[in-house]
Structure 1
Amino acid sequence: MLFNRNFAKRSIKVLNFFYRYKLHRNKSSLGLWHEDITTDIKLKIENHWSKNIVSLEKCDENQPFYVLPMFPYPSGNLHMGHVRVYSISDTIARMFKMHGKHVIHPIGWDAFGLPAENAAIERNILPHHWTSTNIQVMKKQLSRLGYDFDWEREICTSDPQYYKWTQYIFLQLFEKGLAYQSKANVNWDPVDKTVLADEQVDEFGCSWRSGAKVESKILTQWFIKTTKFAKELYDGLDSEKLESWRDIIKLQRHWIGECNGVVVTFKLKLGDLIKSLDIWTNEPFRFIHGQFITMKKNNVLIQELCSNINESKKITCYNPITGFEMPIYITNDSNYPPGRDVHICSPCTDEKDLHVAQQLNISLNKITLGDIEKDNQLSIDIAKQKNVGGYAVNSELKDWLISRQRYWGTPIPIIHCDSCGAVPVPYENLPVILPHFDSGVQILNRLSDWAKCTCPKCFKKAKRETDTMDTFVDSSWYYYRFLDPENKTKPFDYLKLTGRTPVDIYIGGKEHAVLHLYYARFMSYFLNSLGLTPTAEPFKKLIVQGMVMGQSYKLKSSGKYIPPEYVEIEGKQYKEKNTGEPVIVQWEKMSKSKHNGVNPERLLSAYGCDTTRLLILADVPPETSRHWSDDTLPGILNWQRRLWLTMREFLTIRKTFDPSSTKLPEEEFKRYEHKIWEARNYFIATTTYHFKHTHKLSVGISRLQSLTNTLRNNVPREVIAKSEEFEIALATLIIMLAPVAPHFSSELWSGLRSAPNRISNDLFAWNKNVVEQLWPIVDGADRCDLKMKAMHLNNLDSSQALNIMIKEESVAKRIKTGILKSKFHLYPGCRAILYIYTNRQNHKKQSKKVDITE
């Protein structure tokens, strides 16, 4: 009998699922309620529930919701920035699951790049071994923090089955003329020994990675013509599909710049040499009426083509708009656009160009100008028709330089042939595999055996490209691969993206809000232009979280950073303990070199993962920088203690209370119940608003703390023992806490569902864990959503809102008995909430919640 291995694996998987499903639903509390909550108990709780905090419910795939945190570089150790971003994404993902969404929450590894290569060189090991080991360590750390990732979607950019498709996309760019090779004056990092894009050099002229002073070199490099999509990317920032981009739109606009001119590619000739030359102007009619071109003396092409730029050689270039040759003159005195060293001169319309012509003794033709506006458009139309440019762009925006002269990166799939030039590797031969070694790291241009190959066109001897790609290329499209990670025939299937893109919520650091976001938007627009994706914009809503800052100490005299234990305070002055030298104290991004970092492992061991998650999310909203301080600890620890006491007291009272001893008057009992009912509904509404819409998780957490206070502030034993409202409010609190602290909430929930004399038997799925509960809604509320433009929303008052909503059919049906009262809350630029209470005896069961959103 033949044994079907795949069938066996599927069968085991199904059996394991049902086994876990049974345990998941029936797992009981540890029953430690008689003890005070301690770190030891928290760790026991986390160990007890660690395999049961993932929802096993299969939500409706017709309601997909894509929550994506930026994937990490596998350094081997999580830092507090990782803890913050993934705590944010996990909380949001869990919350939307509880809203019935089919949540996609993937994770992977941005594994190529200099850090891994440099670390491997220092340790004399292989980069792929270093990377693989680090990934395993970080996966354990992420698991220990209880993050609910879709691990079946895991990808790694250094896996040939991933970078095969990065190479495929590069070839698509190459075929469309958007990937090209050119000599350029580049930024050279003398420490990392590689080229850097302009964007990777700071305002002081130093490398973003090594910190070394960047040098200038002329090298032949690979570029991606991102400028061709500049106008689309600039205009796309006005799209109504972009939510909560706020100041990121300004950053992107500033980077791209106003696209107030156009580029046309000319062909420069010197003897037998022909080179491409991009010329920018904000007056496209110059491509028709221009008479000569000027170039600066330090132009790279001039330095390449002319051994002596003062030598009287005639240099010309072919103008594709007119079909004629144009002379080129070398001078630094022309009116060059910002960021450009080439200018097309039109002396008949520009006095400065006329002055240059007179200085250079250039004979001019008489030009009769026609309709300039028509000629502007004619130039653009001809350029687009001939595929030589005509696209709008800012003069200072440059193409993306992607060449890197290092080993650990995606090989560029190009073969160089003396006869055929640059030839793309055939698609069927992808991936071009990065060679592995027995030890150490090599640079590809030294590997002659690996570089030797045959030209796919003429079959002569040829050489592989030995530059690798900038890692930003790998991360410019990964969000699509997550939706189809196992595809072996193409990067992703269009249908797998349909309805799931753009990404609903994209979460990452503000330091990536310019470069990575710009490159990712470009790649998405390009892929969309090929018809491979259903939308151009890749991300709908951004959550750009601030950095986690630590307090640093450095000597005033030298600027040397010292550990905090070397510092003492005298009065209001900070001094070094041994020398008494003055110390400067400031908040800075956490760094080992600044001795101001906090190791997440210390927090996990000292307080447990749920407390660590609460600590990183409480007090400040995600977009604000987090000044890390242990001063936050007492508030969170005390809240967890009060939650624990609340459950202990609830269980004790429900077990021991004697109904015959009731002394609280019925009217007083109902007053307490109504107070709890109002508090519960208010805190459901406000917590939901901040968790789901503003994503100010810290504010949502504060609302949960307030609901805790309501349940603990002088509530009589009779109410705790007999009130359904108290039981519902306690259950609601635990459910809304679950996305933030899933282990702790699971224990609280298990205690609650084992409580004697439980009243609310039909209101919750008591046979399921807390992570599988539905998110609470305002009591008796039917929800009606109405979209409205922000300009109209901001001027809305309660009477206008009421008039708008009573015309809605679903609302009108519910208020036939009349309106008892209404409440109106306006959040300018974002949301208005109108509560309508119908005129019935028990109006708390008949409220109508209406959201009016932008």
Structure 2
Amino acid sequence: MKIVGRSLSHRRVTFQLVKRFKSSLGLWNEDITTKIKLDIEKHWSKEVQCKHNCEGKPYYVLPMFPYPSGNLHMGHVRVYSISDTIARFQKMNGNNVIHPIGWDAFGLPAENAALQHNIPPQLWTNTNIDTMKKQLLDLGFNFNWEKEISTCDPSYYKWTQYIFLKLFEKGLAYQSKAKVNWDPIDKTVLADEQVDENGCSWRSGAKVQKKVLTQWFIRTTKYAKQLYDGLNSKTLENWKDIINLQKHWIGECNGVAVNFKITNGEKTKTFEVWTSEPYKLIHGQFLIMCKNNVILEEFVDNETTSIKCVNPITNSDMLIYITDEFAYPEGQEIYLACPSVNIEDRKLSNHLKISFDNECANINIDNENQKAISLALSEKVGGHFVSSKLKDWLISRQRYWGTPIPIIHCTECGVVPVPYEDLPVKLPESLESGFQTLTNLSDWIICKCPKCLSTAKRETDTMDTFVDSSWYFYRFLDSRNEEMPFSLDSIKNFTPVHCYIGGKEHAVLHLYYARFMSYFLHSLGWTTTPEPFKKLLVQGMIMGQSYKVKSSGKYIRAGDVEKTGKDYREKSTGESVIVQWEKMSKSKHNGENPERLLATYGCDATRLLMLADVPPATSRHWSDATLPGVLNWQHRLWITMRDFIRHRNDADLTRNNNLSNKDIQNYDTKIWNSRNYLIATTTYHFKYTHKLSVGISRLQSLTNVLRNKIPPEVIASSKEYELALASLIIMLTPVTPHFCSELWAGFLSAPHRLCDTSTLIDWNKSVLEQKWPTVDNHYELSFMCKVDGADRCDLKIKAEELTKIDHEKALQMMLQQDSVSKRVTKDIVRTKYELFPNCRAILHIFTNRSVKKEQVEISS
């Protein structure tokens, strides 16, 4: 329907359109205040949380789920503001979006806090979940709450136990005596990854002690080479330096590991031998071992200098010499020597006075390397490539509040897995004051052996919480499945996760464990791809300004500090104070309470504040000084809508229009160009770079255009102004959904003329249901060429024509430009063409000036 003029019938039609959904509060004659913002948020809260079904392309937006500590902190507000904005943006682009939330609910902090307050951890955790869930709802985040999960719920950890049993069946979960990191405060074992560079616990900060304990491990090293090589996959988007962090953690997989055996009477123990020269597994003549190796405690005394072991590749005995007089490979305490072939090993044997023969001196090393690996794999004793420093994942924790390990220890049958039909092995429902482990809960521990039915005992260690979070992203997609952890049908269209969002502090440990678990589940045929996450969006920390007394290092509050010139001093003592930006912490008195922001400014302003100024990956320096800019923009948007409503309802402006047609055309052209340019650039940053702050700055620019001396007559009658204003409100909606819902309702309360089918705007729907604006087909977009990284040409191509340009045509077009051809004086060795529909296109040309010559790469 196309409506022209200002007749009464036009106003009736507009009224009928508006009545199809919730109306505005109608407070446009008042100045925007916090009270009005809070009233707006209350008015639109249900609509903002509404699900608008979409049958489009599946898109999985996943923020890392939170630990239920009791209250949201600013890091939570930031990560979920990012994920909610991306989820809403993708919905407006017609995608079928899943944006779930749950709780990483097991772990030491909850248990310690529960002990301190003398209440069960279950009650403490569930109370915190209720509190944080309310806060997430107050912030207007549109999660798929029907998919909510909690790792401490038996309906979840049943399947964590199920997956553990699958690992056990495949020989990837095993128990072994090991020298472990013991936290004397939290009284539990820590994985190597949970000890910082100073030898302190990542949680308690206590100096870690070394103990020898029998622990449960997951053999992640078997997948090391696959996990390392997988980081080169072209399916990974935006991983940037995270790839290097992961590679550094895994290490170069330049050796293989094989399990040898030591037998002493009835006792047999396995130990892992790593070597970068696999032929030694066949031709090696002896091993050396550090004196403090754990396995020696059970087999030797202080006088013993050598023991025998069995080489599983040759099935023959080998001697192990005990010595510390050797520089072992990084992370290793054992070395396999073959002095008849290796010159350095010959020097070692001479130094240790170990005799050897030369019968294998002339072997074909490459052939023997392959033979040794094949034998190890066929005998199922190892043979997988791994770095020397990478260790298996230690998952045992000596605490109550975690997933019980589903194992039974029987004096007759040994280690017996709990039958699948008996899962879950539930934790006792309550915990007495001061009780920290399961070891003396005899009623829970004593059970029947599933094999021989004799009296046996349950495993009393619980799993590291990283096990729970290593597969949760699959369970979200099938959270109510009672037959299995998840079905292939439920995940196949939504995995790998399209956009995974979380802090950089989780980019090594959690990401490594999650990738391992995904590769394992893929090996079972449960998933369609081994990699769990496609695009990675790393969130920077929220930093607060801290004040520390220079002489003592004591942190003090901002109110206790005064500034004199350029110096800061403590008010009460006059002592010098160090001012710096640090991660927010209660102990440093530099935190910010989200509740204060919500009460003072409203949730939309808080969300906007989190996303403006700096991109997600950058650390954010928190300061109230950034608030005026956000609040002023909201004020300007409010008065822009007020002016639009007033001028559209002013009949005199139409009758007494003193502007010439040329003047109106000039304004329309300016607005048309600005709208298209800012749609293109905003879309580019919201969709491709995820630099949301840059996209938001483009929306601020569009606001400036609409407020920059536009005559009331244009506002009253221009379709271009109307379309630009509508586009602005729609594009801001993912960031401030309540505020934009009110702006949109006000917008439609005024007479408007764009009721034709030439735009994507549906005037019968709320702003939350609108499609994301696109540029007009005949608007000219940027087609840029970079030669060896430098900008050399920028053509302007109509949007509808740009989508028709493929890689080959793009290269031909750019080589015809003097600014490009004059720079390509060397052979082209590689090209890359990036097409961002409705945004821009970029052709990258690399010559042998900057990169090693290789075959030209054609990509699109």
Taking the TM superposition and a 5 Å limit, the aligned residue runs for 1:214-613 are 214-306=208-300, 308-311=301-304, 315-368=307-360, 369-437=362-430, 439-440=432-433, 441-613=435-607
- Contact kept, 8 Å, 1:783 with 1:851, in 2: the verdict is no
1:773 to 754, 770, 773: 770
1-side partners of 2:22 and 2:257: how far apart? 67
Of 667, 675, 678, 2:670 maps to 675
Secondary structure (helix, strand or coil) at the match of 1:267 reads: strand
The 1-side partners of 2:650 and 2:785 are apart by: 56
Among residues 184, 189, 195, which one is paired with 1:190 in the alignment? Answer: 184
> What one-letter code is carried by the residue in structure 2 that aligns with 1:309?
N
Aligned equivalent of 2:706, options 705, 708, 711: 711
Partner residue, 1:60: 55
Deviation, structure 1 residue 54: 3.7
- Asked if 1:142 corresponds to 2:142, the answer is no
Partner SS for 1:543: strand
Shift of residue 334, structure 1, vs aligned partner: 3.4
Q: Does 1:634 align with 2:628?
A: yes
**Which residue is equivalent to 2:98?**
104
Distance, in Å, in 2 between the alignment partners of 1:254 and 1:479 is: 25
- C-alpha deviation, 1:370, in angstroms: 1.8
Counterpart position of 2:161: 167
The SS at the match of 1:711 is helix
Q: Deviations over 1:557-585 (max 9, x none)?
A: 11111111100001111000010011111
Cα distance in 2 for partners of 1:207, 1:461 equals 38
Residue 9 (structure 2) aligns with: none
- Greater mean alpha carbon deviation, residues 48-57 or residues 442-451: 48-57
Count of residue correspondences: 805
How far off its partner does 1:382 sit? Answer: 0.3
Give the 3 Å change call, closer, same or farther, for CA 54–804 of structure 1 in structure 2: closer
Asked whether the 8 Å contact 1:269–1:315 carries over to 2, the reply is: no
Q: Secondary structure at the match of 1:612?
A: helix
Cα distance in 2 for partners of 1:645, 1:519 equals: 51
> Deviation at 1:778?
0.3
- Unaligned 5+ residue runs, structure 1? 1-21, 813-820, 836-847
Q: Give me the identity figure in percent.
A: 62
Instruction: Tell me the equivalent position of 1:838.
Output: none
SS in 1 for 2:553: coil
Give how far 1:811 is off. 13
Distance in 2 (CA, whole Å) between partners of 1:23 and 1:52 is 15
The equivalent residue for 2:827 is none
| Distance 1:364-1:588 versus aligned 2 partners, 3 A rule | same
Look up the equivalent residue of 2:278 and give its one-letter code: P
Which residue does the alignment assign to 1:91? Answer: 85
Q: In the TM superposition, what is the alpha-carbon distance from 1:747 to its structure 2 partner?
A: 0.2
Question: Does the CA-based 8 Å contact 1:54-1:771 persist in structure 2?
Answer: no
> Residue deviations 1:636-663, cap 9 Å, x none?
1110000000000111111124122111
Distance 1:257 1:37, change over 3 A: same
Partner of 2:826: none
> Match for 1:692: what amino acid?
K
Residue in 2 aligned with 1:840?
Answer: none
The corresponding residue for 2:824 is none
Equivalent pair of 2:834/2:841 in contact (CA under 8 Å): no
Answering whether residue 680 of structure 2 is matched by residue 688 of structure 1, we say no
Instruction: Give the letter aligned to residue 475 of structure 1.
Output: S
1:604-656, Cα deviation, whole Å (9 max, x unpaired):
00000000000010000000000001111111111000000000011111112
2:199 is matched with 205
The residue that corresponds to 1:180 in the other structure is 174
Provide the C-alpha distance between the structure 2 equivalents of 1:807 and 1:705, rounded to a whole number of angstroms.
Answer: 28
Cα deviation, residue 278, structure 1: 0.5
Partner residue of 1:650? 644
- Structure 2 regions of 5+ residues with no counterpart? 1-16, 809-816, 821-830, 844-858
1:36 match: 31
CA contact (8 A) 1:509 1:545 kept: yes
For the Cα contact (< 8 Å) 1:71–1:109, is it kept in 2?
yes
Contact 2:541 2:583 in 1 (8 A): yes
Preserved CA contact (<8 Å) 1:126 1:439: yes
Question: CA 1:339 to 1:56, structure 2 compared with 1: closer, same or farther past 3 Å?
Answer: closer
- Hey, what does 1:723 align to over in structure 2? 718
| Structure 1 residues 179 and 65, CA gap change in structure 2 (3 angstroms) | same
| SS of the residue 1:242 aligns to | coil
1:829 Cα shift? 7.8
Q: Is the 8 A contact 1:556 1:583 kept in 2?
A: yes
On the 8 A contact 2:803/2:835 being kept in 1, the answer is no
Matching residue's letter, 1:685: A
Distance (Å, rounded) in 2 between the aligned partners of 1:573 and 1:249: 42
CA distance in 2, matches of 1:804, 1:650: 32
Q: 2: CA distance between counterparts of 1:789 and 1:505? A: 28
CA contact (8 A) 1:410 1:468 kept: yes
- Contact 2:55–2:96 (Cα < 8 Å) also in 1: yes
**Cα deviation, residue 362, structure 1:** 3.1
In 2 relative to 1, CA 56–208 (structure 1 residues): closer, same or farther, beyond 3 Å? Answer: closer
Deviation at residue 355 of structure 1 after TM alignment: 3.7
Q: Are 1:701 and 2:696 an aligned pair?
A: yes
How far did residue 417 of structure 1 move? Answer: 1.1
Secondary structure at the counterpart of residue 452 of structure 2: coil
Instruction: Tell me the distance in 1 between the aligned counterparts of 2:779 and 2:532.
Output: 33
Tell me the amino acid that sits aligned with residue 711 of structure 2.
P
Letter paired with 2:318? M
- Cα distance in 2 for partners of 1:102, 1:803 equals 26
Q: 1:669 to 1:505 in 2, by over 3 A?
A: same
Distance in 2, matches of 1:423 and 1:338, equals 35
Distance 1:461 1:383, change over 3 A: same
| In structure 2, C-alpha distance between the alignment counterparts of 1:56 and 1:338, rounded to whole Å | 53
Report the alpha carbon displacement of residue 713 of structure 1 after superposing the two structures with TM. Answer: 0.4
Partners of 1:741 and 1:353 lie apart in 2 by 68
Q: 1:589-614 deviations in whole A, cap 9, x for unaligned?
A: 00000000000000000000000000
Q: Cα distance 1:104–1:436, how it changes in 2: closer, same or farther (>3 A)?
A: same
Aligned partners of 1:207 and 1:213 also within 8 Å: yes
Q: CA RMSD in A?
A: 2.8
Native 8 Å contact 2:262 2:270 kept in 1 = yes
Matched, 1:133 2:127: yes
Measured after TM superposition, the shift of residue 350 of structure 1 is 2.9
Instruction: Give the distance between the partners of 1:769 and 1:601, measured in 2 at CA.
Output: 29
Inter-partner Cα distance in structure 2 for 1:694 and 1:587? 27
Q: Assess, with a 3 A threshold, how the Cα gap between structure 1 residues 545 and 25 changes in structure 2: closer, same or farther.
A: farther
- How far apart are the structure 2 equivalents of 1:849 and 1:406? 55
Cα distance change on mapping 1:554 and 1:431 into 2, 3 Å: same
TM-score (norm 1): 0.90
Q: C-alpha distance in 1, partners of 2:706/2:566?
A: 42
Amino acid at match of 2:770: Q
Q: Which amino acid aligns with 1:311?
A: T
Q: Which residue of 2 aligns with 1:735?
A: 730
Call closer, same or farther: CA 1:456–1:24 in 2, change over 3 Å. Answer: farther
Change in 2 beyond 3 A, CA 1:477/1:791: farther
Structure 2: distance between partners of 1:453 and 1:26: 61
**Alpha-carbon contact 2:671-2:720 (below 8 Å) kept:** yes
Residue 173 (structure 1) shift: 0.6
Give the conservation status (yes or no) of the 8 Å contact 1:801–1:834: no
1:785–1:850 Cα contact (<8 Å) kept: yes
For 2:478 and 2:716, the matched residues in 1 are separated by 52
The 3 A distance-change label for structure 1 pair 785 and 578 is closer
Question: What is the rounded CA distance, in whole Å, between the counterparts of 1:391 and 1:376 in structure 2?
Answer: 13
